[in-house]
Every structure is written in C-alpha cells, then in structure tokens.
Homo-oligomer: A and B are copies of this chain.
Amino acid sequence: MVDITDRKILSILQSNARVSHAEIGEKIGLSTSAVNRRIKILEQDGVISGYAAVLDGKKMGKGASVFVQVTLKTQRKPQLDEFERAVATTPEVVDCFLMTGEMDYLLRVVVQDAADYERVHHETLTQLPGVERVMSQFTIRRVFQKSGL
C-alpha cells in the first residue's frame, strides 16, 4: 500500500510539513498533482494522522523532560482505563506508554525545572487514580528527536 515513492514523500513531510507539493515533486521527480493525490490518499488511509507545530520547550519555559515510571495497585482493565483517562488530562504529560516488565506505564512529563517537577509530582502524578508507586528519571538534555512517529 505504501510504496517507495510514498515513503519519500512522508520523509519530506516529517522534516517539514510546509513544503509545497510542487517542491516535493521536484525533489522526487513527480508532477504536482501526482504528489497531491498521493498525499490525499495517505491522509485518508490514516498513514498521515495529522500535522503539528514543533515547539521549542525551552523558549516557553518548558525545557525539562522527566521520564516517570508508574506502577498501579492493580492491573485490571477498569483501573487501567481510569488511569489512562486521568493522565490524558494532565497537561504536563506529553507521552504515555503502556509497558511490559516491572512498571505499568511510562510517561514523559515536560516541566520548567526540577522545582516545577516537584509540584507536578506531588500535586498531580501521585494523585492519579490507582497509582501505587512513581519513579522519576530526569533528563539532562534532549540529544535529538525525529518528529512524526
């Protein structure tokens, strides 16, 4: 379904979603309308789920990422659902994965600094429903990110 040409288009769109269809066509050797039609199909199929502005957290006072390992009291479905609903409404949590292994969830929390994280930690994270234990790992620096996946 997604062929080589599609992947080239997707690769360009990952690094810059604002390049014109004409410019994409030049780079990969395709006409503007062909590029346009392929992108439209990729959007309809849900391969492209959306377009997002990439922000610089530091310039908004949100320069620190903290990884948070969460263990719940039980692993029963209703409790998982309840936790997931609650954590989704926490603005500082920008990523949430259900995990294998010792911890149940891995979150990435974006805050201003360590003091700001302390606030989020005891005001929000430890108050989420069903939480037994919270383990935090601070990042020093984001080396890179490849947006889009």
Q: Which residues of A contact B (CB under 8 A)?
A: 1-2, 7, 10, 13-18, 45-57, 59-60, 62, 65, 67, 84, 87-88, 93-101, 105-106, 110, 137-149
Contact status A13-B148, CB under 8 Å: no
Complex CA–CA separation, A110 to B138 (angstroms): 22
Complex CA–CA separation, A48 to B13 (angstroms): 16
Tell me the nearest residue of chain B to A6, going by C-beta.
Answer: B60
Complex CA–CA separation, A48 to B51 (angstroms): 13
Contact status A143-B46, CB under 8 Å: no
* Copy total for this chain: 2
* Known contacts A99-B137, A143-B87, A145-B95: A50-B54 contact under CB 8 Å: yes
Contact status A54-B60, CB under 8 Å: no
Give the Cβ gap from A55 to chain B, nearest Cβ, in Å.
5
Contact status A97-B143, CB under 8 Å: yes
Contact status B53-A139, CB under 8 Å: no
Give the Cβ gap from A115 to chain B, nearest Cβ, in Å.
15
Q: Which residue in B48, B87, B97, B138 is a CB contact (below 8 Å) of A100? A: B138
> What are 5 sample pairs from A and B whose C-beta atoms fall under 8 A apart?
A10-B55, A51-B51, A57-B149, A93-B146, A95-B145
Q: Which residue in B49, B62, B87 is a CB contact (below 8 Å) of A149? A: B62
Complex CA–CA separation, A2 to B56 (angstroms): 12
Q: Which residue in B55, B138, B143 is a CB contact (below 8 Å) of A105? A: B143
